[in-house]
Amino acid sequence: GNSVTQMEGPVTLSEEAFLTINCTYTATGYPSLFWYVQYPGEGLQLLLKATKADDKGSNKGFEATYRKETTSFHLEKGSVQVSDSAVYFCALSDQGYGGATNKLIFGTGTLLAVQP
Amino acid sequence: NAGVMQNPRHLVRRRGQEARLRCSPMKGHSHVYWYRQLPEEGLKFMVYLQKENIIDESGMPKERFSAEFPKEGPSILRIQQVVRGDSAAYFCASSPPRGGQDTQYFGPGTRLTVL
C-alpha cells in the first residue's frame, strides 16, 4: 500500500541555519503531496502542497519539490527562526479503491527545535 | 470564515464509559475525515464521510467505534466502552466538494484521556 517515510527527529538547529527534512513516498498512481505543521497543543496546519511531478510548493520561506524520479518531497528552508519550532508531517493523498476516498497517509512526523 | 471546529478540546473518561467527539466542518465543506494520533506517532486515517453517508471506514476499529455526519449538525465520532488504549488525539478535517477536494483543513483536535 501507499506509505510515507520521513526522517526521524528531533532536529535541533540554531537560528538562521538551513533546514532540510527528508520525505520519501511509495505510491501507485500520482498522489498529491503535502507538508503539514503542528505547533504544540494545536491541530495541523497546511504548510504547502504539490499536485504533480516537478511542482514546487512554497509558503513562509519553506519549499518542497515533487520529485517523481526519486519519489521524494523534501522540505527546505534557508534560514529558520525560533518560531518555526514545531512537528512537521509529510503526507500524500490516497484515493483508495475506486478513487472515492481522498484520505491522507502521514509520515511519523519530525520534531524541529530551533535555538536562539 | 470560521475554521474547522471540534469539541470538546479535552475529554476525560473512565474505562467503560462512552466518548462523543464533535466536528463542525468549515462553511461550504461537505466532506469530513477523522484521524487518530496516538502518543508520539503520526496521524492515522479512520473514516471519511459525506453528508448522511460513510464513504470509507477502512481505518475504523471493527468494534466500539462509529461515526456519522447527519444532514444537519456536526459530525460525531462515538467510542463505546472506552479502554486505556483509546487515549489519543482525534482530529477532524474537512474539504470542499470535488474540485477542491485535495486539500483538507484540520480542526484543533480532541484529546481523549481514558483513566
Considering only CB atoms, which chain A residues are within 8 Å of B91? 43-44
**pLDDT at B100 > cutoff 70:** no
Per residue, the 3-state secondary structure of A28-86, as one string, reads: CCCCCEEEEEECCCCCEEEEEEECCCCCEEEECCEEEECECCCCECCEEECCCCHHHCE
Are the beta carbons of B56 and A109 separated by less than 8 Å?
A: no
Tens digits of per-residue pLDDT, A11-54? 999 999 999 999 999 998 788 899 999 998 788 899 999 988 99
Q: In the structure grid, which three cell numbers stand for residue A31, read together?
A: 498522489
Q: What is the pLDDT of residue B102?
A: 64
Per-residue confidence at B103, pLDDT binned at 50, 70, 90?
confident
- Chain A positions touching B45 (Cβ under 8 A) are 94, 103-105
CA distance B83 to chain A (A): 23
C-alpha dihedral (A65, A68, A70, A74), degrees to nearest 10: 20
User: Average pLDDT over chain A, rounded to whole?
Assistant: 91
User: Can you tell me whether residue A8 is helix, strand or coil?
Assistant: coil
Q: What is the mean pLDDT of residues A88-99?
A: 78
Cβ within 8 Å, pair A44-B103? no
pLDDT digits (tens, 9 = 90+) for B8-48: 999 999 999 999 999 999 988 889 999 999 887 789 999 99
pLDDT score recorded for residue A45? 92
pLDDT score recorded for residue A35: 96
Residue of A51, A101, A108 lying closest to B102 (CB–CB)? A51
Question: Which of the residue ranges A12-16, A19-23, A81-85, A93-97 would you say has the lowest mean pLDDT?
Answer: A93-97
The whole-number pLDDT of residue B97 equals: 75
